[in-house]
C-alpha cells in the first residue's frame, strides 16, 4: 500500500527526531529542512531532472541492491547496520561499466533507461523491449484522500522546502 507525501514526511520526522517532534507543529519547517539535509547527504543542490522517469525504486529493487552489494562489496546489507549516508555512497559507487561489467542493479537501471529507438536490429530491439517490460518499475497509483487544512499546510511547507 502506497503512502502519500504527508505520511512520508511524518514518518521521516518520526524516525529522525522521535514522537515528540510530531507534536511540535511550530518547528515543522526546521525539522523538514533538517530531514531534507539528512536525506540528501548534506548536499542541498537539486541534481535531479524532475522530468526524467525514475530508473530505480528502493523497495522494488531491494533484491538487486542486495545482490549488487554482495557482488561489489562482499557484504549483505540485511546483516549490517549502516548510516544512511554510508549506504547512499556505497550505492552510488556500485560498479558501472560500458564493457558490461556493471553490477546487476546498474544493468537493470541502464535497461530501464534505454531508448529502444537507438537499436537498429529488429530482433535485438524486440528482445530488449521484453526485458524492459519484465524489469519495468511498477506504477504506483495513489488513492485520493481528503486532507485537513493543517495537513495541506504541512504538505505545502514540505514542497516549498524540498523544491518539488
Considering the domain boundaries, does residue 79 fall inside one? yes
Within this chain, do residues 68 and 103 fall inside the same structural domain, yes or no?
yes
Considering the domain boundaries, does residue 55 fall inside one? no
Within this chain, do residues 122 and 152 fall inside the same structural domain, yes or no?
no
Does residue 3 or residue 86 have the better pLDDT? 86
The tally of domains found in the chain comes to 2
Does residue 70 or residue 8 have the better pLDDT? 70
CA distance 4 to 164: 14
Nearest to 7 by CA among 163, 160, 161, 143: 143
Considering the domain boundaries, does residue 155 fall inside one? yes
Q: What is the pLDDT of residue 47?
A: 63
Q: What is the pLDDT of residue 105?
A: 96
Domain membership of residue 37 as a residue range: 5-50+148-162
Three-state secondary-structure class, residue 45: coil
Within this chain, do residues 82 and 120 fall inside the same structural domain, yes or no?
yes
Q: What is the pLDDT of residue 150?
A: 79
Considering the domain boundaries, does residue 142 fall inside one? no
Average pLDDT (122-133) is: 96
Per residue in 130-160, pLDDT (tens digit) is 999 999 998 755 455 567 777 777 777 777 7
Within this chain, do residues 127 and 99 fall inside the same structural domain, yes or no?
yes
Q: What is the pLDDT of residue 15?
A: 87
Within this chain, do residues 100 and 75 fall inside the same structural domain, yes or no?
yes
Per residue in 3-55, pLDDT (tens digit) is 666 787 788 888 888 888 888 888 888 888 888 888 888 887 766 666 678 89
Angle at 51 between CA 89 and CA 122, to 5 degrees: 95
Amino acid at each position: 500500500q502506497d503512502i502519500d507525501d504527508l505520511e512520508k514526511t511524518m514518518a521521516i520526522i518520526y524516525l529522525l527526531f522521535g514522537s515528540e517532534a510530531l507534536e511540535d507543529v511550530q518547528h515543522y519547517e526546521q525539522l523538514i529542512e533538517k530531514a531534507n539535509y539528512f536525506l540528501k547527504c548534506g548536499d542541498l543542490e537539486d541534481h535531479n531532472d524532475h522530468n526524467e522517469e525514475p530508473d530505480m525504486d528502493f523497495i522494488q529493487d531491494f533484491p538487486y541492491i542486495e545482490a549488487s552489494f554482495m557482488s561489489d562489496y562482499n557484504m549483505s546489507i540485511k546483516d549490517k547496520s549502516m548510516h544512511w549516508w554510508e549506504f547512499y555512497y556505497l550505492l552510488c559507487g556500485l560498479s558501472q561499466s560500458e564493457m558490461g561489467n556493471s553490477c546487476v542493479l546498474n544493468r537493470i537501471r541502464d535497461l530501464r533507461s534505454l531508448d529502444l529507438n537507438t537499436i537498429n536490429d529488429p530482433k535485438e530491439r524486440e528482445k530488449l523491449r521484453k526485458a524492459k517490460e519484465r524489469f519495468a518499475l511498477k506504477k504506483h497509483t495513489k488513492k485520493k484522500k481528503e486532507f485537513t487544512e493543517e495537513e495541506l499546510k504541512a504538505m505545502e511547507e514540505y514542497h516549498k522546502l524540498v523544491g518539488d
